[in-house]
Chain A
Amino acid sequence: MLEVEEIHTFYGLSHILFGVSLSIESGKVVCMLGRNGAGKSTTLKSIIGITPPKKGSIRFKGEEITGKQPFMLVRMGIGYAPDERRIFADLTVEDNLEIAERKVEGGERWDKERAYEVFPVLENIGSRRGGCLSGGEQKMLAIARALMCNPELLLLDEPFEGLAPVMVKVLEDQIGTLKETGLTVLLAEQNVKTTLRLSDHGYIIDDGKIRYQGSVEELKENEEVRRKYLFI
């Protein structure tokens, strides 16, 4: 579904990603683990076109998408929930969802009701301003908002960060449910345990390079890699 090949991404003059390659099969949950500053967020932003790579190529559903604008990529079927959440603070929860909603011909279609089914917490606070939500509520809203774009591939940046253990469990179940509906997910995380439970395949990134990749079973067994790049 997604092929990232040897991408190099810069912030201004600073070179951040050095030839990152990933490949994601349809219907799978793939995770990218790495410590702070490893380049996880930058990789997701490169895919969604917010920080387009200077070199390398990205293909989505077989089509070359490098350099396309974010809104076009979203319309092609990539959803993005950033780690800083970036909820529209002036808008209510409901409006945050509404402006992301998109009418499409046939196929999977998300609307507010369906988003509330996945995240029932949001329904009760539908009329509250986005800026007045707790961190956890904002996390869920960011994911729900990304789903409203009817994605086939969902890019989640640290969805579990800062959530209470109970909420982590709830969100884990919800992502599991989404996976069952056939959604493909790329999960950038530091919460290794939960992430590995959800994932089929994993990548480890450090200093802007992919250091390791393998199935989740392999990752679980390879203690050396985990100790070296994740400190656990």
Chain B
Amino acid sequence: MDSGYILTFAALSSQFLVGLSRAMILFIVCSGMSFVLGVLRVPNVAHGSLYMIGAFSAFSISTLFGGSSTGFWLALIISPLVVALVSLIAERALFCHLYEREHLMLLLFTFALMLILGDLVKLTWGADYRSIMAPPFLRGSIPIFGSSFPRYNLFLLIVGPVVAISLYLFTNKTKIGKIARAAAVDREMVGAVGINVSWVFAAAFVIGCYLAGLGGALVAPMVSITLGMDHDIIIEAFLIVTIGGLGNMWGALVGSLIFGITQAFGVLFWPQFAIVFPYLAVVIILILRPTGMLKSVW
């Protein structure tokens, strides 16, 4: 048998899984952004900052528990809630007065918020690189398809679908989820059936931001936690929600898969230019389908 072939297959499949697990993080972050975009019509540039806050909070919580497993699990539960709280305050104090404004205003406003949150993170956590450890049983690698595959990525491959299913159940089976879907299309009529749209928006915003925080907490053991994380993710996130179809959560899933997997294969085929591949995919998709892969609610 040709050993070169086996090697390629092993490398391909393992790289595919790496891309897939990276896509899970992107999906969790981008589905939240897309949800906010769909229901509130707010293109939230500060979404990436909330992701960064999620990662830094995970660092603090994990450190508080001396880097133990308990610390990791608590970080995973609490840091998204911290982010949700921050976003609730931002929504009630700032966003709720701005929904009727034009998109350019909202872009500028959320851009300003991104800068402010970036500075607050710097004040709180400093400019150093931080990192946290996953619990022992999620460290190291296991062999899959004849090549080794990081256990933590495998963990992400479980978390991603769990989040996707929860989101599906939330938007399709709960009353608030259904109201949010209705408000995405016709918010005035939602008010005209006796629903206080203002609170629906607050809830939708907090849920979207919670997902940013969850993404940040999940990515924390894989990357160095640092200022600038917000910029990196927000650019990717905007591209993903655009190629997926603005405001469509499942579009965010499709977009994340495309982005994550092209990135992973890029590393394999042309490492120096790996970063180019996902952007190339974005360009091709936008030429073929300018409104994104799935139906946009805009």
Contact = CB atoms under 8 A, between A and B. Distances in A.
Q: Is the interface of B mostly helix, strand, loop or mixed?
A: helix
Interface in B151-198: 175, 178-179, 181-182, 184-186, 188-197
Given A71-B197, A98-B175, A99-B175, A90 B182 contact: yes
Contacts, number: 59
A106 B190 CA distance: 24
A77 B54 CA distance: 44
Contacts of A100: 193-195
A148 B194 CA distance: 10
**A: contact size bracket:** 20 to 34
Contacts of A140: none
Interface in B45-83: none
A69 interface: yes
Interface in A93-131: 95-96, 98-100, 102
A50 B188 contact: yes
Contact of A89 (B175, B179, B185): B185
B185 A102 contact: no
A23 B179 CA distance: 34
Nearest to B186: A86
A33 interface: no
Interface in A201-226: none
Nearest to A45: B192
A105 B178 CA distance: 24
Given A90-B182, A98-B175, A99-B178, A149 B189 contact: no
A74 interface: yes
Contact of B178 (A48, A80, A95, A102): A95
A89 B179 CA distance: 12
A146 B190 CA distance: 11
Given A75-B194, A98-B175, A99-B195, A86 B189 contact: yes
A102 B182 CA distance: 16
Contacts of B182: 88, 90-91, 96, 99
B193 A149 contact: yes
Given A88-B182, A90-B185, A99 B192 contact: no
A8 interface: no
Interface residues of B, number: 18
Contacts of A50: 188, 191-192
Given A100-B193, A100-B194, A146-B193, A70 B178 contact: no
A52 interface: no
A40 interface: no
Nearest to A86: B189
Given A90-B181, A98-B178, A99-B178, A82 B189 contact: yes
B171 to A, nearest CB: 10
A99 B185 CA distance: 14
Nearest to B184: A90
Residue picked from B181, B191, B194, most chain A C-beta under 10 Å: B194
Interface of B: 175, 178-179, 181-182, 184-186, 188-197
30 contacts: A50-B188, A50-B191, A50-B192, A70-B192, A71-B191, A71-B196, A74-B194, A80-B192, A88-B185, A88-B186, A88-B189, A88-B190, A89-B185, A90-B181, A90-B184, A91-B178, A91-B182, A96-B182, A98-B178, A99-B178, A99-B179, A99-B182, A99-B190, A99-B193, A99-B195, A100-B193, A100-B194, A102-B194, A145-B193, A149-B194
Interface of A: 48, 50, 69-71, 74-75, 80, 82, 86, 88-91, 95-96, 98-100, 102, 145-146, 148-149
Given A91-B182, A95-B178, 15 more contacts: A50-B192, A70-B188, A71-B196, A71-B197, A75-B194, A82-B189, A88-B182, A88-B185, A88-B189, A88-B190, A90-B181, A96-B182, A99-B175, A99-B190, A100-B193
Closest A-B pairs by Cβ, 3 of them: A74-B194, A100-B193, A88-B182
